[in-house]
Amino acid sequence: MPYDLVIRRATLIAGDGSKPFEADIAVNGDRIAAIGRLDDAQGIEQIDAKGKVVAPGFIDVHTHDDGALLAPLGMDPKISQGVTTVIAGNCGVSLAPLLLNGTPPPPFTLVGGRENFRFDRFADYVAELKRRGIATNAALLVGHTTLRQRCMPVTDRPANEAETVAMQDAVAEAMAEGAFGLSTGLDYPPAIDSSTDEVKALAATAAHLGGPYVTHTRNYFETMDEAIEEAIDIADHAGGKLFISHHQCTGRANFGKSRPSLERIDRARETMDIGMDVYPYAASSTVLRLQRCDTGLKILVTWSDPHPEMARREIADIAREWNCTEREAGQRLLPAGAVYFQLDEDDVRNIIAHPRTMIGSDGLPHDIHPHPRLWGTFPRVLGHYARDIGLLTLEEAVFRMTGLPAKEFGIAQRGLLAEGNFADLVIFDPETIIDTATFEEPRRPAAGIEHVFVNGVPVWRGGRATGALPGAVLKPSASKTLVRGACGCAEDHSAS
């Protein structure tokens, strides 16, 4: 019997950090069927991949793709990079479970407009993804900010006991319905007004169920050290894994702080389990923040509701045109988003080089003029940081975007080239792979990505999407069912 697909004479990078080797690889259905010398094997489809690398499809551990997964062509920025699995629901903002009437306020805009906020239960969102079909696999987090909006009548204060219990129940329910863990975005309203105790309670519920605490910390700027301490304290109390999202040292006063912060994380690791992710650029992007205006910082507008025509322009330039201060200009642009050129390249490199750092794009798919990380992150790490700069070997770079995140997040049978594993595969040219998206032209697909398969089905080839939607909504392999009351609430959440 012929295989469905045989890829011949490829350089295989297995995804566990081991050295590349030459071999053929065969696929049947959604699985890797054989790896080795397959001279006699027939394939219904055959690809000669001499000189090309075959690696496990990349896992983008930090995304805001909750809404993009639902949109036609919404995942093109990811499949064009070789990404086959995304982790959504980050920075405290998950699409579900939340019904929103009216225009969503920031930071809910990270995952789209009001039409997206229509899932009263986490399970409703999962069912909709399955019904429509998705281009990549998806692992979903449930967001603290989303639960505050759901469970609190006003959100500009810490949650009281009853509200905290309601959010704990919602975490447990979401996890029974497939969520991998809890995310927070403590830097943004309305989560900025939460108490550490409130977050500890929710993180404990997630940890009881085997889920990690994934945090956009309280602050990456003025009080970045205290914010890392708070994250460690919360996860230590909860007893589960901690992932620090897009680790960075923001603002000139923090340049060079990656060394002490990584040392602090390593020290905490002696008694607890901590990982982190990074995007490979020295500029950040989020909603437009007025306190950053008029500080001499270069700020690029990525979207604006009242002034969409100002996307891609610098705020200093807009202020000049409007004959006002940057802050006044910012006020008129709100709600809006921005890129901030406020990170130090040496810090970015130190963080990428740390052995526990995973790669996460933090791409913002709904921005009019997005940060180039949305389309460029993975090829930039492979082409720029691994091949051109030599910051890490190619197999180590692949490990940080495949085997490591699969292990860290408990994603079974993916992230590794092995017989019997799911056939999430990328074929790329190690000589030419590179990001081409820039701050000026951010929507350009990367170069050097030749074929991308999700569950054995091609989703990207010859520079374009095939339109196939073979992705699966993943279930965590680490999750436990909860005995009644173990998370401190009254309901029985045991998954059937």
Residues of this chain that bind Cu ion (CB under 5 A): 90-91, 362
Which residue, 67 or 445, is less far from Zn ion as judged by CB? 67
Task: Give which of Zn ion, Cu ion, none residue 364 binds (C-beta under 5 to 8 Å, depending on kind).
Answer: none
Q: Residue 216 interacts with Zn ion (CB under 5 A)?
A: yes
Q: How far apart are CA 449 and CA 426, in angstroms?
A: 7
The minimum distance between CB 4 and Cu ion, in angstroms, equals 37
Instruction: Indicate the residue among 362 and 435 with the shorter CB distance to Cu ion.
Output: 362
Burial of 482 (0-12, 13-18, 19+ CB in 10 A): buried
E strands, 233-349, are 242-244, 274-278, 284-287, 299-304, 336-340
Residue 205 site contact among Cu ion, Zn ion, none (CB < 5 to 8 Å, cut-off depends on kind): none
> Which of Zn ion, Cu ion, none has residue 277 at its interface (CB below 5 to 8 Å by kind)?
none
Cβ closer to Cu ion: 205 or 284?
284
Which pair of tokens denotes residue 300?
């690029």
The binding track of 151-190 with respect to Zn ion, each residue x by CB under 5 A or -, is ----------------------------------------
Contact partner at residue 387 from Cu ion, Zn ion, none, CB < 5 to 8 Å by partner kind: none
User: Which range of residues in 213-221, 232-240, 248-256, 460-468 is near Zn ion by CB under 5 A?
Assistant: 213-221
Q: How far is the CB of 90 from Zn ion (least distance, A)?
A: 6
* Residue 276 touching Zn ion (CB under 5 A): no
Cis upstream peptide for 107 (omega within 30°): yes
How many other CB atoms are found less than 10 A from the CB of residue 110?
29
In angstroms, what is the minimal distance from the CB of 93 to Cu ion? 8
Contact 194, 158 (CB under 8 A): yes
Contact call for residue 292 and Zn ion (CB under 5 A): no
What phi and psi values does residue 216 have, to the nearest 5 degrees?
-80, 110
Distance CA 459, CA 457 (A): 6
User: Rounded distance, CA 2 to CA 38, Å?
Assistant: 11
CB of 342 to Zn ion, least distance (A): 14
Which one, 91 or 416, has the nearer CB to Zn ion?
91
Task: Tell me which of Cu ion, Zn ion, none is bound by residue 459, counting a contact when its beta carbon lies within the kind-specific cut-off of 5 to 8 angstroms.
Answer: none
Range in contact with Zn ion (rule: CB under 5 A) among 31-39, 165-173, 208-216, 378-386: 208-216
Q: Distance from CA of residue 211 to its chain's centroid?
A: 16
Nearer to Zn ion, 279 or 439 (CB): 279
- Rounded CA gap, 405 and 423, in Å? 17
**Are the CB atoms for 254 and 224 separated by under 8 Å?**
yes
Q: CA-to-CA distance for 473 and 166, rounded, in angstroms?
A: 26
- Residue carrying structure tokens 């006020």: 331
Q: Considering only the stretches 64-72, 83-91, 315-323, 369-377, report the one whose residues sit in contact with Zn ion under the rule CB under 5 A.
A: 83-91
Among Cu ion, Zn ion, none, partner that 86 touches (CB below 5 to 8 angstroms by kind): none
Residue 277, beta-bridge partner list: 358
Minimal distance, residue 245 CB to Cu ion, in Å: 6
* Beta strand segments in 13-42, E: 21-28, 31-36
**Minimum CB separation from Zn ion for residue 92, in Å?**
8
Distance between CA atoms of residues 423 and 29, nearest Å: 8
Name the residue with the smallest CB distance to Cu ion. 91
Residue 55 interacting entry, from Zn ion, Cu ion, none, C-beta within 5 to 8 Å by type: none
Bridge-based pairing state of the strands 53-56 and 425-428: antiparallel
Q: Where are the alpha helices (DSSP H) in 354-480?
A: 373-379, 394-400, 403-409
Q: Which of 395, 383, 399 is nearest to 437 (CA)?
A: 383
CB of 185 to Zn ion, least distance (A): 6
Measured from the CB atom, is 250 or 421 closer to Zn ion? Answer: 250
Instruction: Return the number of the residue (217 or 455) whose C-beta is nearest Cu ion.
Output: 217
Instruction: Please state, in angstroms and as integers, the Cα–Cα distance from residue 396 to each residue in 20, 358, 393, following that order.
Output: 10, 11, 5
Closest contact distance (angstroms) between CB of 435 and Cu ion is 19
CA-closest candidate to residue 266, choices 289, 240, 293, 232:
232
Partner that binds at residue 136, options Zn ion, Cu ion, none, CB closer than 5 to 8 Å by kind: none
If one asks whether residue 91 binds Zn ion (CB under 5 A), the answer comes out as yes
Rank residues 360 and 470 by Cβ distance to Zn ion and give the closer one: 360
Q: Given the complex with Cu ion, which of 27 and 437 has the nearer CB atom?
A: 437
Task: Name the site residues for Zn ion (rule: CB under 5 A).
Answer: 91, 216
